[in-house]
Amino acid sequence: MIRVKYFASLRERMNRGEDQIEVSGDQLTLADVLARLTLPDGQTLQLLSLAETMMLSVNHEMVDIDHVVKGGDEIGIFPPVTGG
Amino acid sequence: MIRVKYFASLRERMNRGEDQIEVSGDQLTLADVLARLTLPDGQTLQLLSLAETMMLSVNHEMVDIDHVVKGGDEIGIFPPVTGG
Amino acid sequence: MYARISVQTGDFSLDAVINELKQETKAVGGICSFTGCVRDINDGEDVSSLFLEHYPEMTEKQLAKILDTAEARFDLLGAIVIHRIGLLHPGENIVLVAAASAHRAAAFDACHFVMDYLKTQATFWKQEQRRDGGKSWLRMRESDEQATADWEAKKD
Amino acid sequence: MYARISVQTGDFSLDAVINELKQETKAVGGICSFTGCVRDINDGEDVSSLFLEHYPEMTEKQLAKILDTAEARFDLLGAIVIHRIGLLHPGENIVLVAAASAHRAAAFDACHFVMDYLKTQATFWKQEQRRDGGKSWLRMRESDEQATADWEAKKD
């Protein structure tokens, strides 16, 4: 099981704060995970990430889209940060 | 009459905070003024200024040693500043 | 190096932060601080409030990483980062970064460095609420990305 | 631009200064400040106190000139300079420069600029009193002269 958290405008567009996805024995990259997650209109996050910059984290560290995830990981998906 | 004020280490070395000097009709530069002012040991400020950096002001504006002074001016002579 | 990070809803006192950094060591010669606050106009829009969201488990970790990088790069004696979350109004404080050093150039550089990286690396998001009732999530500025890129280029 | 200069014996509050700059305009997005304080060790010597002398009629005029130059060069909304005089002990504040702008880069640059010029242009002198009883007037650091020269070189 992998927990996926959304923040800010992406959380609002997903209409939910998080998802949980099952992982099989296969090696799964973040790109694969994004292909499995869908917006309410059916569009995948993988498609959305081609049009808009998204930042990705695994276990609270920023990572790239080719990062390999494993069961128990917490993934964060969010728009570029705007604090300060 | 020209008023000359000394500050910090120079005030201590002059053993006085200020001097007054008479100005005749001649054009007087700050270099001329320094030649007229003497430390307690007889050394002129002109001589001292060759060995040590001194900052000069006329009427509270920083000026160069070739600045021409006139009666009523206030001259400041002091070591490089060290505030902040 | 003394370091403190706080993500909080309440306001902060800059005097208290300066004293905290000076308590640590009497070798401190200067403290540079940056206080960011809510402006009443942003990109031409009248702002009535800002809502600050963050990624709770991640934010402090990211800020700690930025302070570690600053400590390795600059001659620092201490640093404090405080960032507020929740609803904030024009004039209110959002963020404080303070960096203490024996000499001023390091304090200025480190404070600027931490603010620049916080802008592009720390997991905060601002939603602007306008006087006309509209709401929108702010976008990262290109100038902020450029500021971080400039520090990366200066690294060597 | 809002500007205030004070040469005073008493201490100052950074919180009060930040609020003063924010009162002037709600367009302020960031305030960079630098607080300089007395270190307990300077160039290897144990410092027991510093005595700050200045040229009363000239100091504020010089500081005003520095703020004018900063206003012409940076996108500033306000600036405050406070410098203490008299006898000060390790840990005590000496100087505060605060610069407010809509955006942070201008605030950082202006604050740093004013501090650098204050170091070489404002008529203050420090006499150091050491724990061994010795006293000496400090000398301007070459690094301070260099900092001003660097700003002059960057002017165009």
Give me the residues of C, 118-147, that contact D with CB < 8 A: 143, 147
Q: Do chains A and B touch (3 or more CB pairs under 8 A)?
A: no
Which residue of chain A is at minimal alpha-carbon distance from C60? A60
Q: Closest Cα of chain D to C55: distance in Å?
A: 24
Give pLDDT, residue C45.
82
Query: Looking at beta carbons, which residues of chain D come within 8 Å of B5?
Result: 55
Residues C109 and D147: beta-carbon distance below 8 Å: no
What count of other Cβ atoms lies within 10 Å of the Cβ of residue D55? 22
Of A50-59, B51-60, C1-10, C23-32, the least confident: C23-32
HSE-CB for B83 with a 13 A CA cutoff: 31
Query: What's the whole-model pTM score?
Result: 0.95
> D126 and B80: CB-CB below 8 Å?
no
The verdict on C52 touching A (C-beta cutoff 8 Å) is yes
Which pLDDT tens digit goes with each residue over A9-66? 999 999 999 999 998 777 899 999 999 999 999 999 999 999 999 999 999 999 999 9
Which pLDDT tens digit goes with each residue over D77-104? 999 999 999 999 999 999 999 999 999 9
Q: Closest Cα of chain A to C121: distance in Å?
A: 7
The verdict on D93 touching B (C-beta cutoff 8 Å) is no
Which residue of chain C is at minimal alpha-carbon distance from A80? C140
Give me D148's structure tokens.
């001003």
Answer whether residue D115 shows pLDDT above 90. yes
Which pLDDT tens digit goes with each residue over C48-58? 999 999 999 99
What count of other Cβ atoms lies within 10 Å of the Cβ of residue A22? 8
Ranked by mean pLDDT, which of A19-33, C23-37, C142-156, D69-83 comes out on top? Answer: D69-83
Answer whether residue D127 shows pLDDT above 80. yes
Q: CA D125 → CA B11, B39, D88, distances in Å?
A: 12, 20, 13
Query: Looking at beta carbons, which residues of chain D come within 8 Å of B79?
Result: 125, 137, 139-140
Report how far apart the first and last C-alpha atoms of chain A are (Å, whole number). 34
Residues C120 and C65: beta-carbon distance below 8 Å: no
Query: How is chain D split among helix, strand and coil, in percent rounded to 5?
Result: 40, 35, 25
Q: CA C25 → CA A65, C16, D33, distances in Å?
A: 44, 15, 20
Q: Closest Cα of chain D to B75: distance in Å?
A: 11
> D147 and C18: CB-CB below 8 Å?
no
